């Protein structure tokens, strides 16, 4: 396995967790603003009811998850402390982004009202986040 555990422990976990926290907060703010706009504006309500029909809602969730993964890589590229992005750190970023969704899931479960329009903790989000991280992180696929 080529010292998998050593490579796992040597990842820049603190900056990656901070990047995932910022990405989760940005998505939560966007979702909250959309829910607010839909609930307070009749025009937004009508347009979003057409966009969120059952046949199209799955595409929105996949797109949001892919965008969330790409947003995580984008923030990681521009983060203030140096993060060396490579295959291992991209997988660690996927793990951190999923950890953020897991925390969001438990906060909702304990009664905090955080809207989840598109991004929820499920298989669709998992696959979309992986696709988004590795699609945006294509230049970092080198092994080191």
Mean per-residue pLDDT for 102-131? 85
Strand runs labelled E in 1-144: none
d(CA 67, CA 115): 17
pTM above 0.85, yes or no: yes
Q: 59-72: per-residue pLDDT in tens?
A: 888 999 999 999 99
The two tokens of residue 123 are 């298989």
């Amino acid at each position: 396995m080529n010292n998998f555990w050593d490579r796992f422990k040597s990842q820049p976990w603190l900056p990656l967790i901070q990047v995932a926290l910022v990405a989760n907060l940005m998505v939560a703010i966007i979702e909250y603003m959309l829910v607010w706009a839909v609930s307070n504006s009749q025009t937004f309500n009508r347009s979003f009811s057409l966009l969120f029909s059952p046949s199209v809602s799955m595409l929105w969730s996949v797109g949001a998850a892919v965008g969330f993964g790409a947003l995580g890589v984008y923030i990681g590229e521009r983060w203030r402390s140096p993060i060396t992005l490579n295959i291992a750190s991209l997988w660690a970023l996927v793990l951190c982004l999923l950890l953020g969704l897991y925390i969001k899931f438990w906060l909702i479960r304990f009664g905090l009202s955080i809207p989840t329009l598109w991004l929820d903790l499920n298989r669709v989000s998992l696959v979309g986040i992986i696709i988004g991280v590795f699609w945006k992180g294509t230049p970092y696929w080198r092994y080191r």
